[in-house]
Amino acid sequence: MAKTIEQLNSGLIVGRVGLGMHGTQVGSVAQAVHDGDTIDVRAPGDFGIRFLGVDAPEVSAKLPDSGPDDYPSLSSPRWEAFLSGDPLRNARVSRGLKRHLEALLGPGVAANHHFHSQEARKGLAQMVEADRAALGQSKEDFRFFLAFAYEVMDGYGRFLAFIHPNDPARQLPPPRRESYNDRMLEAGLVLPYFIWPNTDPFLKARLATSSLQGAVLSPRQLFEEASDPATKLGRARAAVRRARAQQIGLFAGTNPLRLPPSELRLLVNLAKGRTVNRWVIDLSDPKARLLHPEDYPAIPHPEDRLFVAEEFVPLFRQRGW
pTM of the model: 0.91
Q: How high is the pLDDT of residue 137?
A: 95
Given a contact cutoff of 8 angstroms between Cβ atoms, the answer to whether 195 and 278 are in contact is: yes
Q: How high is the pLDDT of residue 34?
A: 80
Q: Beta-carbon neighbour count of residue 214 at 10 Å?
A: 12
Can you give the three-state secondary structure of 279-310, one letter per residue? Answer: EEEECCCCCCCCECHHHHHHCCCHHHEEEEEH
| Amino acid residing at 140 | E
Which CA distances in Å does 116 have to 7, 82, 129, 163, 224? Answer: 27, 18, 20, 21, 33
d(CA 262, CA 104): 12
Q: How high is the pLDDT of residue 125?
A: 96
Q: How high is the pLDDT of residue 31?
A: 87
Q: How high is the pLDDT of residue 205?
A: 66
Query: Which segments in the chain show pLDDT lower than 70?
Result: 1-2, 203-210
Q: How high is the pLDDT of residue 1?
A: 56
Question: Domain residue spans in the chain?
Answer: 1-47, 48-272
* DSSP 8-class letter at 153: B
Q: What's the CATH class of domain 48-272?
A: mainly beta
Quick check: bond before 300 cis, omega within 30?
no
